[in-house]
A and B are shown apart, each in its own frame.
Chain A
Amino acid sequence: MSRYTYPVALLLSITCATGALAQAEPLKIGVPTSQTGPYAALGEQVIRAIEFAAAEANAAGGVDGRKVEVKIGNDEGNPEVGRRAAEKLATEGHKILIGSISSAVGLALSTQLNRWDAIYVSVVNKTPKLTGDSCTPRTFRANHSDDMDIAIVAPWLAESETKKWAIIGADYVWGRGSGAAFKAAATKTGKSITTELYAPLGTADFAPYITQLRDSGAEGLWVALAGSEAINFAKQAKQFGLVDKMTVFGHNFVASSIIKAVGTDAVGFWGNVNYSASIKTPNNEKFVAAWRAKFNADPTEYEGEAYSGMQAIFEAAKKAKSAKASDIAKAFSGLTAETVYGPVTMRAADHQLEMPNYLGRVAEKDGKPVIQVVRSFDSKAATPPPSGECKM
């Protein structure tokens, strides 16, 4: 008998220990994002960062002792498919939803959150509607809205000598919204808009648009295209010689995944930079070091944003002392959390995270394009007040 005593005791102690850990209800995260479709490359980055954040938290003993469980769904970049994917995740208990790429998907999810008893934390959706007329007590945006990007573009635009501008955007809620916001900012600073063009999603050949932009006589160009469309446009515009003489500002264009594909043809393009590995906060330096150790590369913009969204969720769960979506929603509203951006606050009025933002430009270094942050704006300058359209 005696020779069994020790192993049995060991076994018992192990079961007891794991039993104690399992008592805390796990924090179940659902990620309805684009695994296929035009935004698959962005979805891949978001998934990588979310899984990284979860693994890091679990290695440190979980969030307040709660294990973080992540489950991925596929929204295919389509609101209806996204709604179904999120519903499946929510019914399986993954009620903390995060990570949709398309704004249209984010808006579709936010209408269903009460029914699913879930919350949705945007880390990529930019449409002002999400924190405007379509806001809900269960919807949160932990990334920059279009309005925030425009808020930092306006001072730059006022100083710019380029007078006549043209707009090319993707023909859906985000592209149209971005174009309209730029138009308003441009008119306010005394610039004129000569042409506004919106290309349907899935446009591959931009030649007819490029010809019109060239004929418009504009000196500056606002580009609100995403994913492969942004890349195709930039390459083709360069081949037509369109962008050589123009000031080009790409909304969400100056991002590693796009610049890498476009190559040196993007040199000189201006853009908002929503996250950069070069942000100087202790939190970010720690994150970048851990990321480099694992992936041997700097985190991209989308990876940094998704990671920071997870940091905010973890802080909210700690404050709520609960893994239940409704408790986390209550704790999240008005929460000040330490993230890669430094201390940021989830504004209670419309659930927009007040955070810093950056303006950058593509430069050439050793024959390769690199993103340089030209100006930083603190949370106060970067976050315009609530639009007043949000009634929770």
Chain B
Amino acid sequence: MLTNALNGLVYGSLLFVLSSGLVLVYGLRRVVNFSHGALYMLGAYIGYSIALRYGFTAGVLAGGIALGLVGIVLDLLVFRNLSDRNPLVTVIVTFGVFLVLEDIVKSVWGTQNYTLDPPAALAGVVEIGGNPFPAYRLFIIGASFLMAMILVVWLKFGRTGLFVRAASVDPSVAAMCGVRTDLLGPAVVGLGAAFAGFSGIIAAPFLSLHPAMGSEILVLSFVVSVIGGLGSFVGAFVSAMLLGQMQAFGTVYMPELASLLPFLLMSFILIWRPQGLGGRSA
């Protein structure tokens, strides 16, 4: 029971960090970013290459920072021009970015699988309720919660966080009050991409690296954002945790339905509360 709940927590927190990147970008730019899965994958591959040479910590930092830069470039070149376009256009363009990044990964790293060992300090197991549990998985929970806390504190109490919230509600009024909204865009998209990069490299020691990893996780992270309500952090948090637990307990008690459960929940939420758990009604 306890191990199951922990398993769910691990996957849930990984999904949460990944989808908070989506939420950030949607909140400010109103762009549904389909390239997010590829950013996650790129973060994992860059982090992996650095981690092999300079150690795991360097790899994690590199994955986050490199993807932050990619995010800034993406915003200046693509998202900025998309913010008031037809949603269908943004879907097609960001999906195109996804395919391009996926091909870049394939031509640089090839199609074979790579695995990364967890750092030595986290390689062992911890006894929990009499059963061994990998220490690295506990680290994932800790790291995700830390990142979530930093994000919440920054948005709620930081001055720039206030600007981001203001610009998400109404960019033109925020600009009139003196907020440099043109600078906020690249910063927020960069941060969103960095979150994708972080989650990619943090996932690497327990999910192997391969060119399909981005599309595999993209679907689930969208389910998280839709259930939570696009643009809502609290919603994303609740739905990521819910999905993680569903995955963990579903495979034990309803193995035939386990892979369907996230989508059943999403359909149910869309009928009952179309704006999502934490979304404001339009």
Contacts and interface: CB of A to CB of B under 8 A. Distances in A.
Interface residues of A, number: 36
A262 B115 contact: yes
| Chain B binding surface SS class | mixed
Interface in B188-212: 205-208, 210-212
A236 interface: yes
B57 interface: no
Contacts of A40: 111, 210-212
A192 interface: no
A335 interface: no
Given A204-B216, A232-B208, A235-B208, A261 B112 contact: yes
Nearest to A240: B134
Interface string A259-290: 01111000000000000000000000000000
B281 interface: no
Given A235-B115, A239-B118, A241-B132, A36 B206 contact: no
Interface size class of B (residues with CB under 8 A): 35 or more
Contacts of B131: 214
The 7 tightest CB contacts between A and B, nearest first, are A200-B259, A207-B7, A261-B113, A239-B134, A208-B251, A40-B111, A231-B208
A198 interface: yes
Contacts of A198: 255
Interface of A: 36-38, 40-41, 43-44, 197-200, 202-205, 207-209, 211-212, 214, 227-228, 231-232, 235-236, 239-241, 257-258, 260-263
Contacts of A232: 206-208
Interface string B2-28: 011001101100000000000000000
A239 B252 contact: no
A209 B251 CA distance: 7
Contacts of B10: 205, 207
Interface string B123-145: 10100000111101100000000
B247 interface: yes
A41 B115 contact: no
Nearest to B258: A200
A198 B248 CA distance: 14
Given A197-B255, A261-B208, A202 B112 contact: no
Contact of B217 (A44, A204, A241, A260): A204
Interface of B: 3-4, 7-8, 10-11, 110-115, 117-118, 123, 125, 131-134, 136-137, 205-208, 210-213, 216-217, 247-249, 251-252, 255, 258-259
B252 A41 contact: no
A267 to B, nearest CB: 14
A211 B7 contact: yes
Contacts of B8: 208
B177 to A, nearest CB: 44
B7 A205 contact: yes
Contacts of A202: 216, 259
A204 B217 CA distance: 9
A236 B206 CA distance: 6
B248 A208 contact: yes
Nearest to A231: B208
Contacts of A211: 3-4, 7, 252
Contact of B113 (A37, A207, A228): A228
A257 B113 CA distance: 8
Contacts of A41: 111-113, 210
Contacts of B133: 240
Contacts of A204: 207, 213, 216-217
B247 A208 contact: yes
Contacts of A43: 111
A390 to B, nearest CB: 31
A137 to B, nearest CB: 35
A142 to B, nearest CB: 24
A307 to B, nearest CB: 19
